[in-house]
Structure 1
Amino acid sequence: MHSAAAKNISSQGGPVSAAMSEVKVLIAAGGTGGHVYPAIAIADALRETYDDTDILFVGTKDHMEWETVPKAGYNITSIWISGFHRRLTVKNLIFPVKLVTSLVQSLRILNRFKPDVVISCGGYAAGPIGWVATQKGIPLVVQEQNSYPGVTNRILGKNAEYIFTAFKEADHYFPIEKTKLAGNPTRKSLTAIDQQQAYKNFGFSQNKKTLLVLGGSGGAKSINEAMLHNIEKLHDEMGLQIIWQCGKRYYDQLRSDIRPQAYDQLLLKDFIHDMPAAYEVADIVVSRAGALSCAELALTGNASILVPSPNVAGDHQTKNAQSMVQEGAAKMAPDNELKDMLPSLIGKVIHDKNKLKQMNNAAKSLARPEAAKTIANKVFELAKQHNP
C-alpha cells in the first residue's frame, strides 16, 4: 500500500483525505465499445487521481471487454448473463437460469472483492452486479452514455447514489436530484499522438485528404454497402486516402468483393487498434452516431458525417447526431440514403478548408475532457463515506 498522500483533485469532489487508505472500485460494463471504453476512461481517471486504487472489472467472456480490459491494464472477472430477446427464442428459455446464476456469481464477487463503490456503465453484466451491490448497501454510481438510457441503467438508477449523463435528454429517465450532466468519459490517449508519426503509421501522405470510415466495433452493414458502391469514386476520382473499418463479420466478404490490393490508398481493416493515429490523420470521419463516437469526435475535433443506426432503442443515435449537427460539427445522412448521398456529402466538405476548420472548432466546443475526472471525484467522495 502506498504511503503517499492522495493527489489533489478538482473542486467537484473536493480533495481526497491524506489519510485515506486503499480504495476498491468495481466497474461493471460490457457488450460494446460504447460501454467498455467509457468504463476504462473512468478507471484511468481513478488511478491518476489516487495511486492506491484497486480496480476490478466485471463483464462477460463472449464480448469485447474480455480482451479490451486486460489490454488496458486492468483485471476482469466474468458472470454468465446475456440479453433478453423480445421474441421467443431458445436463448430466452435459459435466460432465467442465467439470471439466477449471475446473481449468485455477483454475490460471490462482491463478497470476495469487497468494493467501496460499484460503477455501472451499462451492458448485460452491470444489471446483476449493480442490483446485488445495492442490496448489500454498497454505494452505486451509474454512468449513462446515451440520450435514451439502456434498460439496465434505468433500473439501477432508482437505487444509485449518483447518475452521470452525457446528454441532457437522458435526465428525464432518472431521479433528477441524483443526476448530473458530465459528458462521456473518453480516453486521453486519443489526442496523445504526433501528427507526422500518425501518417507514417498508416503509410499515408500529409499532402492528401484522408477519409476515416467507422461502423462501430461490430461494423455497420449500410455504411459498408455505401462504401462498396462508391469506392472507385472516392478513391480514384476524388483521390482520397481511405481507412475503412468494416467489422469482423464483413471483412472477409469485402476483401473478396473489392480486392483492396487494387487500391493503393485504401486500408481495409476489421478493427482499428491505433485510433489516436486514425483520428489524427482523418480530414473527415463517416461514423455511426453512438454516444462514444460523438464524444470521441468532439474530443479529437474531427469533422464528421454521422449515420444514425435505425436499430437502437429510442432512436437515440438520431438525437445524438442532431446535437452535433445543430452545433455545426457534423452533417447527418439517413441510413437508407447513404449509398446515394455519400460522395456528395464528402465532396462538399473535404476540399473546403474553411468549412473543415469551422466543423473542427464546433466539434471541439462540444468536448467534455473532464468527464472521467468529474466521475472519479464523486467515486472517491462515496468511498470516504463508505470506508472512512
Structure 2
Amino acid sequence: MRVVLAGGGTAGHIEPALALADALRHLDPGIGITCVGTERGLETRLVPARGYELELVPAVPLPRAITPSLLTVPGRLAGAINAVVNVLERVQADVLVGFGGYVATPAYLAAKRRGLPIVVHEANPRAGLANRLGARLTEHVFTGHPEAALPKADYIGTPLRREIVSLDRLSMGDKARSWFGLETDRPTLLVFGGSQGARSINEAALAAAPALRRAGVQVLHVIGPKNLVEHEPPPGDPQYVLLPYVDRMDLAYAAADVALCRSGALTCAELTAVGLPAAYVPLPHGNGEQALNAERIVRGGGGLMADDSELSPDWIIRNVLPMLHDPERVAAMSEAAARLGRKDADIILARKVLEIAR
C-alpha cells in the first residue's frame, strides 16, 4: 500500500502527519509513505530527519484580500496540482491524507483528479481554507478539536508522537531536569512559543527572570531558533536555562511543573496528553483559533489564559508564580488537563486510513 501525506509550513501541520506515518508503519511495516511539502516550510528539516521521503511542490499561498496577486493564483495553482499529480502517479498512491497548509489545496485537487480516496484531518476548531475545501471533496473528515466546525467530521484528537503520549512525567522528572542542567528539587517553569518561538512571551519571561529567581523558581526557556535576546539572565541559582530549540520536547515537558506558552493546536494536544498545566497566551493574529484551543482547557481546569496584550512580567509574577508554589493546585490542574487529552489519535487515524484505502 502507498500513502501520500500532505501537510506543511508549521510543526502544527507536519508533526501530526509524521505521527500518522509512524502509526501506519507500526501497523503495516511494508507500507510506502511519501510526504508532500514546499521548500518554505519546516517539513524540509523535520520530514527527512524522521526518515520519510519528501517531495517538494510549489507553494501557492492564497491572498486574504482582493489584490493584483489574486490574478496569478489560477496559473500557479494549476502548476502545483500538476506537480502533485506527478507525485501520486510516480508512487502509485492508494490514498491521500491532508493536514492543511499551503500544500494541501493542490494535493486535494490532484487526488480528486486522480480519483483517489481523500482523508482530511483538521486540528483546529476553525479550519483553514485548504481543509474547508478538502472537506467538500470527501466524506472522510477527522478533527483534533471536539468543537471543530466541519460538516461530517469525526472527533478523534490530534495524532501525536509516541514519545509524547507514552511519557510518564512523574517518573522521568528528575532525569529530565538533569538532562537540561536543572536541579531536581526546585519548582520549574517551561517557557516556549511553539516551533518558531514568540517574542512577547520571550520578553515578558526574561524581564520576570530576577523575580522568579528570587522566588526560588528555575526556568527552562526555549526562545525559538531564529530569535535573539538582548540581555540573557546572568549565571546564578536557581538556573535560567536559555535554548534556541529543543528536539526532545518530551523531556522538556517532564522537567516542568507549569508551562508558559502559545496555544496552537499541537501545543494544546501535547500538553493535555502529558497532563502539564499551562498559562496560555494565544497568538493575537489569525482567526482566533488559538484562543478557542485554550478556552477549552481553561474551562476544564487545566490552565490559565492571558491576552497577548495583557502579558507582562507582572502578570507572570501575579499569576504563574503562585501556581509554582502550590503543589496541590498544580497536581489538580495536571489531572484536569490530562482528562482532556487524547493519546490514541495516531492509531485511530492510521486504522481509518488503511480501511479507507482498502
TM-score range normalised by the length of the shorter chain: over 0.9
Asked whether 1:335 is paired with 2:308, we answer: yes
In the other structure, the counterpart of 2:184 is 206
Q: 2:146 and 2:179 mapped to 1: Cα distance?
A: 38
Q: 1:215 and 1:82 mapped to 2: Cα distance?
A: 26
Query: Structure 1 counterpart of 2:245, which letter?
Result: F
Deviations 1:8-59 (A, max 9, x none): xxxxxxxxxxxxxxx1100001010111111111111111112221110001
In the other structure, the counterpart of 1:307 is 281
Asked whether 1:370 is paired with 2:344, we answer: yes
Q: 1:24 and 1:34 mapped to 2: Cα distance?
A: 24
Offset of residue 92 of structure 1 = 5.9
In the other structure, the counterpart of 1:145 is 123
In the other structure, the counterpart of 2:245 is 271
Alignment counterpart, residue 35 of structure 1, candidates 1, 5, 13: 13
**1:45/1:373 contact within 8 Å kept:** yes
Q: 1:85 and 1:213 mapped to 2: Cα distance?
A: 33
In the other structure, the counterpart of 1:155 is 133
**1:213/1:242 contact within 8 Å kept:** yes
Q: How many aligned positions are there?
A: 352
Unaligned 5+ runs, structure 2: none
Give % identity: 35
In the other structure, the counterpart of 2:46 is 68
Unaligned 5+ runs, structure 1: 1-22
Which is worse superposed, 324-333 or 44-53? 44-53
Alignment counterpart, residue 223 of structure 2, candidates 246, 253, 266: 246
Offset of residue 260 of structure 1 = 4.2
Query: Structure 1 counterpart of 2:342, which letter?
Result: R
Which is worse superposed, 190-199 or 287-296? 190-199
Q: 2:161 and 2:207 mapped to 1: Cα distance?
A: 33
Asked whether 1:358 is paired with 2:336, we answer: no
Superposition pairs for residues 1-388 of structure 1, below 5 Å?
23-86=1-64, 95-170=73-148, 172-174=149-151, 176=152, 179-190=153-164, 191-192=166-167, 194-234=172-212, 236-251=213-228, 254=229, 257-263=230-236, 265-313=239-287, 315-339=288-312, 340-384=314-358
Deviations 1:79-99 (A, max 9, x none): 011422335779767544432
**2:206/2:233 contact within 8 Å kept:** no
Which is worse superposed, 317-326 or 93-102? 93-102
Offset of residue 105 of structure 1 = 0.6
Q: 1:266 and 1:82 mapped to 2: Cα distance?
A: 41
Three-state SS of the structure 1 residue aligned to 2:227 is helix
**RMSD of the TM alignment (CA)?**
1.8
Q: 1:151 and 1:88 mapped to 2: Cα distance?
A: 15
Three-state SS of the structure 1 residue aligned to 2:3 is strand
Offset of residue 372 of structure 1 = 1.0
Three-state SS of the structure 2 residue aligned to 1:121 is strand
Which is worse superposed, 217-226 or 133-142? 217-226
Q: 2:81 and 2:208 mapped to 1: Cα distance?
A: 49
**1:139/1:161 contact within 8 Å kept:** no
Three-state SS of the structure 2 residue aligned to 1:337 is coil
When the two structures are superposed, what TM-score results if normalisation uses the length of structure 1? Answer: 0.86
After superposition, the Cα gap between the structure-2 partners of 1:274 and 1:89, relative to the gap in structure 1 and judged at 3 Å, is farther
Q: 2:109 and 2:142 mapped to 1: Cα distance?
A: 18
**2:125/2:293 contact within 8 Å kept:** yes
Offset of residue 167 of structure 1 = 1.6
When the two structures are superposed, what TM-score results if normalisation uses the length of structure 2? Answer: 0.93
